[in-house]
Amino acid sequence: MIITIASFKGGVGKTTSAIHLAAFLQSQGETLLIDADPNRSATGWAQRGDLPFEVIDEWRSPRRMRNFDHVVIDTQARPVQRDLELLTDGCDLLILPTTPDVLALDALVLTLECLQAIGANRYRILLNIIPPKPSREGETVKQMLKAAELPVFETGVRRLAAFQKAARAGGLVYAIKEARAAEGWQDYVQVGQEMLAGA
């Protein structure tokens, strides 16, 4: 399975999602994460610690992909239309992370318009960095996306400080000693299960 994570906006948890979904897929089979973002955020994350899967940059990827059951691709923010055509053509699922705020949703609309223009339909929206209760932003936006008949994951990923600590440590959220870290990992496990169920 080849999963691509893409967004027209930075700061929506693209790399965090790529890292944690790759960790979930590694529990199902050998997984490779390709860091195709010029910022090399996933590469930096991996170099700071120890991840249970291999992370390489895009320049060395084509031959290596054949040796893995799953491949996750972390892309640069704001891909041009040609990039999106290549990404959607070469993957089983394009995941579009977004935060439930107006600026991120504006960027999501632009992404969806671009996908529609190229006839891409193998994508799902992931609500990410959802504010804690009593905020209902996450649920409100999910229902809005569903009402628009857009494919959205049932599970969203909560905003937790443990994710930032995991990035600094170069590890996964479940390894962070913080009360709610396990909840953050469980969010990604549920997203991963939805992802496999829809494959």
The CATH code of the domain that includes 100 is 3.40.50.300
Judged against a pLDDT cut of 60, whether residue 61 lies above it is answered with no
Instruction: Work out how many domains the chain is built from and give that number.
Output: 1
Which residue range forms the structural domain that includes residue 127? Answer: 2-194
What's the burial of 18, exposed, middle or buried (CB within 10 Å: 0-12/13-18/19+)?
buried
pLDDT of residue 60: 61
pLDDT of residue 186: 97
Mean pLDDT across the stretch 73-102?
83
Residue of 184, 189, 199, 182 whose CA lies nearest to 93 = 199
Q: Is the dihedral of CA 168, 169, 174, 179 positive or negative?
A: negative
Helix segments in 2-80, DSSP class H: 14-26, 41-48, 61-64
Amino acid symbol at 59: W
- 117-173 pLDDT, tens digit each: 888 888 999 999 999 888 888 899 999 999 989 999 999 999 999 999 999 999 999
- Mean pLDDT across the chain, nearest whole number? 89
Least confident of 25-29, 104-108, 156-160: 104-108
Name the residue with higher pLDDT: 76 or 54.
54
Establish if 127 belongs to a structural domain.
yes
Angle at 25 between CA 61 and CA 190, to 5 degrees: 140
Using 50, 70 and 90 to split pLDDT, how confident is the model at 85? confident
Establish if 52 belongs to a structural domain.
yes
Establish if 10 belongs to a structural domain.
yes
| pLDDT > 70 in the chain, percent | 95
User: Residue 46: helix, strand or coil by DSSP?
Assistant: helix
pLDDT of residue 79: 72
pTM of the model: 0.92
Establish if 185 belongs to a structural domain.
yes
Establish if 199 belongs to a structural domain.
no
Tell me the two tokens of residue 6. Answer: 């893409």
The Cα-based distances of 61 to 79, 144, 161 in angstroms read 19, 38, 32
pLDDT of residue 83: 73
Establish if 161 belongs to a structural domain.
yes
Order across the sheet with 93-98: list the strands.
54-57, 31-35, 70-74, 2-5, 93-98, 123-127
Establish if 190 belongs to a structural domain.
yes
pLDDT of residue 159: 95
Establish if 102 belongs to a structural domain.
yes
